[in-house]
Amino acid sequence: MSNIWNIAVGMYKEMSRNRIFYVAVIFSVALVGVAALYKTVSIDQEVELMRDAGIAAIHVLGVLTAIFVASTSVSKEFDTRAIQVLLAKPVSKEEFILGKYLGTLLVVLVNVILMSAGLFFLLLIKTHLFHFGIYRALVPLCFEFAVAGALSILFTIMLKGVIGPIFSIIVVVLGHVTHLLPFMIERAESLVTKAVTGIIYYVLPNLTYFNLKELAVPGEYIPPALMGGIVLYAGLYVAMVLVVSMLLFRKKQVALT
């Protein structure tokens, strides 16, 4: 467990030196600039637009951060052959994968906290009210970021260069339309089409589970059963992806040694 944590902390420090956290500063400045455009609408509409735009921006930046942090960290180890030195120490291949994944989560979590704090205080300054509702929408999104990070590690091990993160982005985008596949299966006439579509439905992540921006308004809350389902689904999907990553990584290392 100590090896996993050491790898994660080392990755976090490295990404901090790469100015990954400046994304949060840029995000906050961009929000202020966008807020200046909301002069022709009512205060309620302005707040709603600011809230929705802020949550959408955190959503996009969170996914991209998870994908590129995971991909960059893992691919760098292979490109510089540092992976051989690392695995020569008492570090297992499984600990390497889990450490990189945990490091990705740390980087993404800090970025999301900074960005959401910027949105929260901007809304506070604008309305003099506490908009705690934004966190009800952002917490489920963090589980989507966790899924995106796991997928990025998998595709970085499977594919070379920029193809890995690009493929990760494609899968994440497809994950937001997965819920439409059951309707396609019902209307498909060919058994082959039904079978292929069904496989795709169960392999791709259903990321609509994590999109709860309608709960960002005052008076709403996340039902415990819904939150439990989100945690369970994300946990099982991430575990599956990481297990596959470990198996592929084990074979990849045989070729390197």
Domain range summary for the chain, segments of one domain joined by +: 2-176+211-256
Q: What is the pLDDT of residue 160?
A: 79
Eight-state DSSP code of residue 21: T
Q: How far apart are CA 253 and CA 250, in angstroms?
A: 5
Q: What confidence tens digit (pLDDT) does each residue in 96-126 have?
A: 899 999 999 999 998 898 888 888 888 888 7
Say if CB 9 and CB 16 are below 8 A apart: no
pTM reported for the whole predicted model? 0.87
Q: Find the Cα–Cα–Cα–Cα dihedral 172, 176, 177, 181, rounded to 10°.
A: 80
Q: What confidence tens digit (pLDDT) does each residue in 5-51 have?
A: 888 888 888 887 776 667 666 766 676 566 656 655 566 677 777 78
Say if CB 178 and CB 100 are below 8 A apart: no
